[in-house]
Amino acid sequence: MSRRTLTLLLASLLAAALAAGAAQARVPYVALGPGPTYNTLGEVDGQPVIVIEGRQTFPTDGNLDLTTVGVQSQLTLVTALRGWFARDLAVVPREVVYPPGRSDEQVQEKNAELMRESQGSAVTAAARQLGLRVAEVSVAEIRPGAPATGRLEVGDVLTTVDGTSLRDAAELRALIGATSIGDSVQIGFTRGGQARTVVIPTGESSGDGPRRPVIGVVTQEKPIDAPFTVDITLEEVGGPSAGLMFTLGILDKLDEPSLTAGKYIAGTGEISADGTVGSIGGIVQKLTAAKAKGTDAFLVPAGNCAEAVRRPPPDLLLIRVATIEDALAGLDALRAGRPPSLCTT
């Protein structure tokens, strides 16, 4: 055997050994890929995803799918390299998903806790959207010299503004803020269990912010349970990003008409009790999962729109939502055949 042949043979064996090692060597990364989707209006393992008691429910049709991300851990160098070039995979450092100092079990427990919190926020957001009271708003402090001085007292429970029932403190601020400085507002309240009303002229806000009408009270909130119970059975999913779709599923069951009109809708997004939709991770993977199921439109958190439009699946409407009202408006536009507000570049 010549020296050249021997050299080539040894080089080939070394390359094969290195390739085999790369195929087995673990790297500190995980791959995020499209996960399962679940219809919040449907069933999983023969059980309804959402069960509501204590209030009339209505038939639903179509799909309101929540979307998930699958996590592939224990990557080798070869699988990591493949993931970096795959359109629907994201290879990220392991600590992004599994923070240092936490076991996999602790991460799962935290995700389960976040899921429970998102379900509670979804119930509150749905109740608020239905016009139901979700918090008791009381006076905690009256600013010195404020318009409310002598008219309201600490401990008064505020119930209405110009006849509109208050769902929470945010609505109190919004209703007063919708007037002009110097206008009078009629405040309904209870004191010592007795219902009363008082007319208060609005003053001007102090501080460096924009000028706005105020009555000069500091409020505090006491959460009130919704007048119905919601049981969500979806143990396979963790984290907070299903909140938006849970809220829509609850609303679709509690009100008419159908939100989907038979269409296949998917989406994602955290939900706050006031109906604000927060951004999430894994939007590309969730879009891919939704498209594979034949989705007509996808509800995208406003904070994720820039990423979503960089690599959108073909023929999938990406509806921009910053609040639950945006989501409902987008679905209403689809039902009416109007163009919804879309994510743009």
pLDDT digits (tens, 9 = 90+) for 99-142: 777 777 787 788 888 888 999 999 999 999 998 999 999 999 99
Q: What is the mean predicted confidence (pLDDT) over 49-77?
A: 88
Q: What is the mean predicted confidence (pLDDT) over 321-337?
A: 96
- Helix ranges (H only) for the chain are 3-24, 77-85, 94-97, 104-129, 169-177, 243-254, 283-292, 305-310, 324-336
| Confidence (pLDDT) at 107 | 74
Q: Tokens for 30?
A: 């995980």
Per-residue pLDDT tens digits for 208-254:
778 899 999 999 999 888 889 999 988 778 888 999 999 999 999 99
15, 40 in Cβ contact below 8 A? Answer: no
Higher pLDDT, 6 or 96: 96
pTM higher than the cut 0.95? no
| Confidence (pLDDT) at 209 | 73
CATH architecture of 29-130+227-336: 2-Layer Sandwich (3.30)
Model confidence band, residue 82 (pLDDT cutoffs 50, 70, 90): low
| Confidence (pLDDT) at 239 | 85
Instruction: Look at residue 207 and tell me whether its pLDDT is greater than 50.
Output: yes
| Confidence (pLDDT) at 344 | 87
Query: Do β-strands 203-204 and 213-214 pair in parallel, antiparallel, or remain unpaired?
Result: antiparallel
Instruction: Look at residue 6 and tell me whether its pLDDT is greater than 70.
Output: no
pLDDT, mean over the chain: 87
- Please report, for the chain, the start and end positions of each structural domain, with discontinuous segments joined by +: 29-130+227-336, 135-223
Query: How many whole angstroms separate alpha carbon 20 and alpha carbon 110?
Result: 37
Higher pLDDT, 81 or 200: 200
| Confidence (pLDDT) at 229 | 93
Model confidence band, residue 86 (pLDDT cutoffs 50, 70, 90): low
Instruction: Look at residue 11 and tell me whether its pLDDT is greater than 60.
Output: no
Nearest CA among 292, 327, 334 for reference residue 313: 292
| Confidence (pLDDT) at 27 | 66
CATH number of this structure's domain 135-223: 2.30.42.10
215, 202 in Cβ contact below 8 A? Answer: yes
| Confidence (pLDDT) at 183 | 96
Model confidence band, residue 13 (pLDDT cutoffs 50, 70, 90): very low
